[in-house]
């Protein structure tokens, strides 16, 4: 932050500042540095200082908005290269590419992979339509893509065709991915006219850098960088170098989100595409495009993304409630565990593997593991009994057998007092033993 010689505060307050309560502005400046207070809260700062400090203190990677309504997303805004340094700001978005021959099947498949995991919707967020030289099929595909109600990426470098596509899609604020060394002036004017994000590509990293610098010179900073598709090696190197240049070297020319099209890097190979999606989710695709998304691909990819882009300071939790497994009804045996997402998925997976109908009861345990939540007093006889009362468990379920984790067997006596009429059964210490335990319990 080169602000040497800048007279930021042109006053000497005689009373405490209304914003920070300090007789000087040092406390306010510290709050600004910590991100606790925005700069414009200080009414004493000169417009010149406000403008320069605002730009200097902004994240080295710009935050870009795409789409509208439920399909609006933020990209960029990152400040660190690694998740352990600080929470990542904007998760990678997944897209599928549409072509005239596959558009109907692809749009049908989009509806299949759409589910909620730990309170987050897991679905393909974007669709990419590439112009390959035939205008009418391209525009017809764009029209069909609008029915998906997802944010569109228009991959087209022909100015006239791009204008027609934007006329069709402008209400949804798509990405126009078509600027390069030869047409960036015209494409920038078109993107600015329609108020959309402009994608920038090039034959080399140096060429991309020069084009982005030229676009910034034209006043366009609503950009996203296409890392290229000549080879996996080059695409990966570009993605990493662009992110490192922005965050490590503070080079704001490269301070933009990125697009990676793995459908072009591994055409026709869905397994390799899934592997590349996982790679670029880690480093550093803001938008990752593939040929299609099946359930077999979705489960590991969305799980990976959710783990990477979840705040490490906040545990992942499932909602408290009744989770019927294996077709369980009101007469099925009950089991309970904590709301920590990892524990839930491990336990529920083993319970499902047993084939025995079970109602898994999840109470609010602060998002901690079994022993941690028990030690903290968040998974106790009183908290479980309170959950039973608040959730109306006894009015919804007739079975009065409750299996508790073996590691908190100490709760058995207290639970029998807190839940009169219930038979408390101490389960195994490890989830993997639940299959044998439940099958033997059912047979007894």
CA distances to 174, 186, 431 from 359, rounded to whole Å, are: 45, 61, 15
Count Cα atoms within 13 angstroms, Cβ side, for 275: 8
Per-residue pLDDT of the chain (444 residues; tens, 9 = 90+): 344 444 444 444 445 555 555 555 666 666 666 656 666 667 666 776 666 666 666 789 999 999 999 889 999 999 999 988 888 999 999 999 999 888 988 998 888 888 888 888 899 999 999 999 999 999 999 999 999 999 999 999 999 999 999 999 999 999 999 999 999 999 999 999 999 999 999 999 999 999 999 999 999 999 999 999 999 999 999 999 999 999 999 999 999 999 999 999 999 999 999 999 999 999 999 999 999 888 889 989 999 999 899 877 777 889 999 999 999 999 999 999 999 998 999 999 999 999 999 999 999 999 999 999 999 999 999 999 999 999 999 999 999 999 999 999 999 999 999 999 999 999 999 999 999 999 998 766
Residue 153 has a pLDDT of 97
Query: How many angstroms separate the CA atoms of 382 and 368, rounded?
Result: 17
Against a cut of 0.85, is the pTM above it? no
Would 63-308 and 321-443 be classified into the same CATH topology?
A: no
CATH topology of domain 321-443: Rossmann fold (3.40.50)
- Burial label for 126, CB within 10 Å (0-12, 13-18, 19+), is buried
Residue 200 has a pLDDT of 97
Residue 394 has a pLDDT of 93
Residue 444 has a pLDDT of 65
Query: How many angstroms separate the CA atoms of 381 and 383, rounded?
Result: 6
Taking alpha carbons only, the member of 44, 4, 7 closest to residue 28 is: 44
Domain ranges of the chain: 26-57, 63-308, 321-443
Residue 296 has a pLDDT of 86
Q: Are 369 and 347 within 8 A, CB to CB? A: no
CB atoms within 10 A of CB 82: 10
Give CA angle at 312 (309, 315), nearest 5°: 105
Q: b or e along 141-180 (b: 16 or more beta carbons within 10 Å of the residue's beta carbon)? A: bbebbeebebbbbbbbbeeebbeebbebbeebbbbbbbbb
Superfamily (CATH) of domain 63-308: Dihydropteroate synthase-like (3.20.20.20)
Beta-sheet pairing, 126-130 with 93-98 = parallel
Residue 310 has a pLDDT of 83
């Amino acid at each position: 932050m080169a602000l040497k010689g800048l007279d930021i505060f042109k006053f000497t307050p005689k009373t405490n500042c209304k914003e920070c309560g300090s007789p000087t502005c040092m406390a306010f400046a510290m709050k600004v540095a910590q991100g606790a207070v925005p700069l414009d809260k200080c009414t004493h700062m000169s417009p010149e200082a406000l403008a320069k400090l605002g730009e200097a203190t902004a994240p080295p990677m710009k935050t870009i908005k795409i789409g509208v309504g439920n399909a609006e997303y933020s990209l960029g805004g990152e400040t660190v290269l690694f998740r352990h340094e600080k929470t990542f700001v904007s998760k990678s978005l997944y897209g599928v590419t549409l072509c005239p021959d596959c558009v109907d099947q692809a749009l049908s498949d989009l509806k299949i992979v759409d589910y909620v995991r730990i309170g987050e919707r897991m679905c393909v967020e974007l669709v990419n339509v590439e112009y390959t030289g035939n205008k009418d099929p391209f525009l017809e595909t764009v029209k069909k893509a609008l029915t998906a109600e997802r944010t569109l990426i228009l991959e087209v470098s022909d100015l006239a065709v791009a204008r027609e596509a934007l006329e069709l899609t402008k209400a949804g604020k798509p990405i126009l991915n078509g600027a390069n060394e030869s047409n960036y002036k015209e494409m920038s004017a078109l993107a600015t006219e329609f108020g959309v994000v402009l994608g920038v590509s090039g034959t080399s990293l140096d060429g991309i850098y020069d084009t982005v610098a030229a676009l910034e010179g034209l006043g366009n900073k609503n950009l996203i960088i296409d890392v290229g598709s000549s080879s996996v090696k080059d695409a990966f190197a570009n993605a990493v170098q662009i992110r490192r240049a922005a965050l490590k070297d503070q080079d704001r020319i490269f301070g933009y989100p990125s697009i990676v099209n793995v459908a072009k890097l591994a055409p026709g190979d869905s397994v390799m595409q899934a592997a590349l999606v996982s790679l670029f989710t880690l480093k550093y695709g803001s938008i990752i495009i593939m040929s299609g998304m099946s359930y077999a691909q979705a489960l590991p990819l969305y799980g990976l993304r959710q783990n990477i882009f979840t705040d490490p300071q906040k545990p992942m939790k499932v909602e408290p409630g009744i989770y019927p497994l294996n077709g369980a009804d009101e007469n099925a045996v009950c089991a309970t565990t904590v709301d920590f997402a990892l524990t839930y998925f491990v336990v529920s997976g083993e319970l499902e593997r047993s084939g025995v109908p079970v109602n898994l009861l999840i109470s609010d345990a602060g998002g901690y593991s079994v022993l941690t939540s028990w030690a903290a007093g968040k998974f106790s006889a009183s908290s479980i009994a309170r959950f039973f009362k608040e959730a109306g468990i006894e009015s919804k379920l007739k079975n009065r057998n409750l299996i508790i984790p073996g590691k908190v067997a100490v709760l058995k006596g207290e639970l029998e007092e807190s839940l009169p009429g219930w038979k408390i059964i101490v389960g195994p210490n490890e989830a993997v033993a639940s299959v044998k335990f439940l099958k033997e319990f059912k047979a007894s």
